Structure 1
């Protein structure tokens, strides 16, 4: 049984062991310190054959690193301000601009919602019809439309003056 495990361990180091068997072998290596030492030796031999530089760490190497990290002091240094402040400021500025634009257009559309408000105000004044007609005639006379304002029956309109009428 021991011979088969060593052979599987050698195949594992050479990466020639199937995945399912490799997982089972690694679990057994994890439980057995003797197999751990053999795996380390096989790995060193493989590196030496491949002319790779390798270094050997002791079995308690990880434990020593863990103890060393526990004994080091912890420094509570203030962190450097990140760009979060700048991001928050730019977001607030953008939101303010959006609110200002929305408020501006809301006021503008409210004024447009009642486009005939001035007309109703004029209608509420109740100016007599004769006075409005007189104002309208004054306007037409001021703009040189005397032919229509005077209601002269003897004067022909512009269209009749320009037309040809056979007799």
Structure 2
């Protein structure tokens, strides 16, 4: 019986058992401390044969670590505030400043490339206004028969022609 258990442990370490046999063997190993020690030894031997490096820990290594963790004091320290919010706000401000600088420089550049654009527009408007005034004067002359609209210097206006003289 013992030899058969040892052989099954060896097959388990070599991963040569089927799932049903592995499950029954692991249940048996879980209840027997001697089989647990043998399984650890077989696993250690298998590791040493495969990798030629071996590290041995005491059987109660994990239990000792667990016990020490339970004895550690628990500190409830305030957490440091997350600086991500500050970084995001700083990034947003920087992006806004860059956008404003680009907008201002683009408008200044446009004014520098076309320094007399405003003068040209005013000149075009005055030419258009003169043309409109000329058309308006022609209209008044054609329909009203009034010569003072023409701004002729030889003709006096109605206000000068009509006068009142006292005796």
- TM-score between both structures, scaled by the size of structure 1: 0.47
- TM-score between both structures, scaled by the size of structure 2: 0.47
